[in-house]
Amino acid sequence: MTSHDVTTGAVTWPDQLYDLLKRANITQFAYVPDAGHRVLIDRSLADPDVHSVALTTEEEGVALLAGADLGGARGVLLIQSSGAGNCINMLSLNKGGKFPLLMLISMRGEFGEGNPWQFPMGQATQPVLEAMGTIVLRAEAPAEVIPTVEAALTMVFQSGETVAVLLTQRLIGAKKFA
């Protein structure tokens, strides 16, 4: 499996990632709209077999997916690094209640960032998540995405952990500012 189409050079890992999440029986896709997660969000919106849940703030998604777990369903939370900060107290559910949680976090405020407002939370994302008991994995290159999320799925839904996979700015590219 490659992460780019060999003839067109197009990025293919986002579609492969959606297919992987579907194979893992993820049925609730919760997100705050974000360009970094565009393919996953759009495919969940077009998929009649999953719930596509737009949130007003990221911590809603932590609680939503704990509720899903109470009802025997699996979900994924798609957020930006700035939104990781909005989740912190709500992650008490996961650390204290042993609710499994998979977060995919598109990173800002790191490699090549041109917006100074993004640095405080971007640089703090990994340490504050780890302080709340979340295991943090990083995907730096296209070929790392699928194996990293496969590992995270096992850690979350087999072992009951809370895992954040950081889709790094080296992977997704820095947004351009004039």
Partner 1 sequence: MARPKKLQVNPMPETVLDRRDVIPLLIENPHDFLVVAGLAGSAQELTAITNDGPNVYALAGAMGAAVSMGIGLALAQPKRRVLCVTGDGELLMNLGALATAALMNPPNLTIICVDNGHYGETGNQDSHTGFGVNLAKIAEGSGIPAVLTINTMDDLPEGSRLVRQGNGLAFILLRVKEGKPLNTGRLMNPAVGRTRFRQHALGHV
Residues of the shown chain interacting with partner 1 in the complex, contacts defined by CB under 8 A? 27-28, 51, 53-57, 59-73, 75, 89-90, 92-93, 96-99
Residue 96: how many CB atoms within 10 A of its CB?
Answer: 9
Residue closer to partner 1, measured from CB, 4 or 98: 98
Q: Between 93 and 167, whose beta carbon lies closer to partner 1? A: 93
Cβ nearer to partner 1, comparing 88 with 146: 88
Q: Tell me how far, at minimum, the Cβ of 72 lies from partner 1, in Å.
A: 5
CB of 70 to partner 1, least distance (A): 5
Q: What are the tokens at 74?
A: 């699996």
Question: How far is 131 from 59, CA to CA, in rounded Å?
Answer: 16
Residue with tokens 């917006």: 115
Q: Who's near 156: CB < 8 A, 6+ residues apart? A: 100, 101, 102, 162, 163
User: Minimum Å distance from CB 14 to partner 1?
Assistant: 24
